[in-house]
């Protein structure tokens, strides 16, 4: 991987690569963005770019220096994670002491602080002293999912890099490259912007099972009998953890109803559940466009009701009856 082929955050990669080329690297960065957006990956690539012996201003990923950073045993690259729930004052003091020591193998040192928003006030104030008077050759990279929780005085002394959520196309492409079926990969990528969470969905049996139940339920709802209600009762009877999974189930239901709409208007190239096109085409024959739009609105309303602590099973049964009544 080089700066040019970092697909997750091309804008951030371009800015950092330019700073390296022109020798304008800041002494401190704050990488701010949601979980799974590539913050740590790019932080380590930046560290490798400073130590790589094969490429100037980039990382080959193959030389001894790059491999040691990947393995977490480079003496001049340190990753600091919270001790428990927070980054504590003792961790920052140890970090400052280490910063003042001469680099082992070069004139550079790199520090990556994960969850910088979880620093105690004492730790943040202590770190501030480094940011105000940084030792020569030291680069600090702070990672956070919540930049609003970082002290303004720290923010003002860092160059802030905003990481956008990963696009569904990037997530699906990564998952498919790992051998995950395209249909499941595309579905998961539209449920979450977190690559790790999308991977967990695809690797779990219950995710595929939930999607199969969605397909079954949508078919049964058009039969205007009690089959759909029986499916819901059976679903809750067999799955004690469904209350936690219900928002995901409803998200899958919205995607499925939207896909039926896409089939009806001839936009099959936009299907999320692309591996189920035959089933979608059959269901598109028995649903009207008005029913689908109304159904999507009802699902979204049901999701909000459940977030307000409505009884999950009753909320889902009510949803089915409302859709059947039109």
In a domain, residue 177? The reply is no
Which letter does DSSP use for residue 87 in this model?
Answer: B
In a domain? residue 28: yes
The two structure tokens encoding residue 249: 């189930």
Same domain, 129 and 269: no
- Last-in-domain residue among 162, 188, 215: 162
Each residue's pLDDT tens digit, 131-186? 888 788 889 999 999 999 898 999 999 999 999 888 898 899 989 999 998 888 99
What's this model's pTM, rounded to 2 decimal places? 0.70
Supply the Cα-derived Rg of the chain in whole angstroms. 25
Residue 84 placed within a domain? yes
Residue 158 and residue 21 share a domain? yes
User: Could you tell me the two tokens for 84?
Assistant: 């428990």
Of 103, 130, 162, which residue sits at a domain end? 162
Q: Is residue 54 part of a domain?
A: yes
Read off the DSSP letter of residue 2.
-
Q: Within a domain: residue 119?
A: yes
Is residue 122 located within the same domain as residue 255?
Answer: no
Q: Cβ distance 66 to 110 under 8 Å?
A: no
Residues 132 and 51 placed together within one structural domain of the fold: yes
State residue 103's pLDDT score.
Answer: 58
What CATH number is given to the structural domain containing 83?
3.40.50.300
Beta bridge mates, 112: 79, 141
pLDDT tens per residue across span 101-116 = 765 666 788 999 999 9
Q: Report whether 299 contacts 250 (CB < 8 A).
A: yes
Q: For residue 226, what is the domain's CATH number?
A: 1.20.272.10
Using CB atoms within 10 A of its CB, is residue 313 exposed (0-12), middle (13-18) or buried (19+)? middle
For residues 145 and 213, membership in a common domain is answered with: no
In a domain, 186, yes or no: no
Determine the straight-line distance between the first and last CA of the chain, rounded to whole angstroms: 53
- Same domain? For 38 and 148 the reply is yes
Report the pLDDT value the prediction gives residue 224, as an integer from 0 to 100.
Answer: 66
Please give the Cα distance from 259 to 182 (Å, whole number).
15
Q: In this structure, are 46 and 156 located in the same domain?
A: yes
Domain boundary among 162, 177, 194: 162
Residues of the chain scoring pLDDT < 50: none
Looking at the 3D structure of the chain, how many domains does it have? 2
**Considering only CA atoms, which of 263, 246, 260, 255 is closest in space to residue 319?**
246
Domain that holds residue 151: 3-162
Whether 319 and 281 have beta carbons less than 8 Å apart is answered as no
Q: Is residue 167 part of a domain?
A: no
In a shared domain, residues 152 and 32: yes
């Amino acid at each position: 991987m080089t700066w040019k082929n970092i697909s997750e955050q091309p804008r951030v990669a371009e800015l950092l690569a330019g700073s390296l080329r022109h020798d304008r690297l800041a002494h401190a960065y704050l990488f701010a963005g949601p979980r799974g957006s590539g913050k740590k990956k790019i932080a380590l690539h930046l560290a490798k770019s400073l130590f790589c012996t094969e490429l100037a201003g980039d990382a080959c990923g193959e030389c001894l220096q790059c491999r040691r950073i990947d393995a977490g045993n480079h003496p001049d690259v340190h990753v600091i994670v919270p001790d428990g729930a927070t980054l504590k004052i003792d961790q920052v003091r140890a970090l400052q002491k280490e910063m003042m020591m001469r680099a082992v193998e070069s004139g550079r040192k790199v520090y990556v602080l994960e969850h910088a928003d979880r620093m105690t006030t004492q730790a943040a104030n202590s770190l501030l002293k480094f940011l105000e008077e940084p030792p020569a050759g030291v680069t600090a990279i702070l990672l956070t999912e919540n930049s609003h929780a970082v002290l303004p005085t720290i923010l003002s002394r860092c160059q802030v890099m905003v990481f956008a959520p990963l696009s569904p196309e990037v997530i699906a492409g990564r998952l498919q490259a790992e051998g995950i079926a395209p249909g499941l990969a595309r579905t998961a990528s539209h449920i979450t912007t977190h690559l790790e969470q999308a991977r967990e969905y695809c690797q779990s049996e219950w995710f595929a099972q939930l999607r199969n139940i969605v397909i079954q339920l949508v078919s049964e709802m058009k039969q205007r009998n009690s089959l759909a209600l029986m499916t819901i009762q059976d679903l809750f009877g067999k799955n004690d953890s469904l209350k936690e999974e219900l928002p995901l189930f409803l998200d899958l239901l919205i995607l499925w109803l939207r896909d039926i709409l896409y089939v009806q208007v001839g936009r099959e190239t936009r299907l999320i559940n692309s591996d189920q096109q035959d089933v979608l085409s059959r269901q598109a024959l028995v649903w009207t466009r008005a029913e689908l739009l109304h159904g999507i609105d009802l699902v979204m309303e049901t999701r909000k009701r459940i977030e307000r602590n409505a009884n999950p099973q009753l909320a889902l049964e009510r949803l089915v009856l409302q859709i059947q009544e039109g």
